Amino acid sequence: MSIRFTIATPLGFSVRTTDAYWQKLIIKHPDIADLEGLVQQVLYNPDEVRQSSRDESVLLFYLLSKPQRWVVAVARRLNGEGFLSIAYQTDAIKEGVVLWHK
């Protein structure tokens, strides 16, 4: 299992994903297949980070990529380690507690 990337977040922990998981992710969300650099950037330098309103171990990292269009990287943090859960594009920010803002 090879690590595809590990990115330090402004919240003091890193988020990682493997090659195999990235391949599964882009099958589910093919629109981000060419946006790996943006997914890494949203983790490293997000515009905003929110805690999921449903699961406090889930954090949503947002980066405005175009007017009214965000790239979202969703990470789960367990025992101090972060794992990329999903990444996608959206036109709306979900509810949740704002943990960090640029």
User: Is position 100 within any domain?
Assistant: no
- Residue 50: give the domain boundaries: 3-92
User: Is position 99 within any domain?
Assistant: no
Q: Which residues in the chain come in under a pLDDT of 70?
A: none
The residues that bridge with 88 in the sheet, in sequence order, are 72
User: Is position 44 within any domain?
Assistant: yes
User: Is position 67 within any domain?
Assistant: yes
Question: Which pLDDT value is given to residue 100?
Answer: 95
Tell me the whole-structure pTM to 2 decimals: 0.95
User: Is position 20 within any domain?
Assistant: yes
